[in-house]
């Protein structure tokens, strides 16, 4: 479907569609971003953390740069999604680099 065409086709020579989505579901839970961001040892400053604080906390654990996606809300941007990027095999987190994507 639409999600396969948008995200999965770069891996179609490695995974078939069902295996791709099974792997995606597994990878979605590999890192607990909530505990990374709100752990007691190294919490991000609340209530309004800076983008660099969020990026740094996630990068420290994953060893890779995530993609932060924001929407404009009232007088500024609000974080709505964090994406981790993986190599084609889905075996390791890699730096997200999506030129042209609007970050926070």
Q: Domain coordinates of the chain in residue numbers?
A: 1-30, 31-103
**Torsion, CA 96, CA 59, CA 21, CA 80, rounded to 10:** -80
Q: What is the pLDDT of residues 14-42, one digit of tens each?
A: 888 889 889 989 998 899 988 888 876 76
Q: What is the pLDDT of residues 54-79, one digit of tens each?
A: 888 999 999 999 998 888 888 777 88
Residue 51 confidence (pLDDT): 82
Indicate if the pLDDT at residue 101 is higher than 70.
no
Q: Which of 18, 95, 13 is nearest to 4 (CA)?
A: 18
Q: How confident is the model at residue 102 (pLDDT cuts 50, 70, 90)?
A: low
């Amino acid at each position: 479907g639409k999600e396969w065409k948008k995200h999965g086709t770069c891996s179609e020579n490695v995974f078939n569609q069902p295996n791709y989505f099974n792997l995606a579901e597994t990878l979605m839970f590999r890192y607990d971003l909530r505990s990374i961001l709100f752990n007691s040892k190294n919490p991000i400053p609340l209530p309004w953390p800076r983008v660099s604080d969020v990026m740094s906390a996630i990068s420290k654990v994953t060893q890779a740069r995530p993609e932060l996606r924001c929407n404009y809300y009232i007088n500024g941007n609000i974080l709505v999604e964090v994406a981790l990027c993986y190599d084609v095999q889905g075996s390791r987190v890699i730096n997200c680099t999506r030129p042209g994507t609007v970050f926070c």
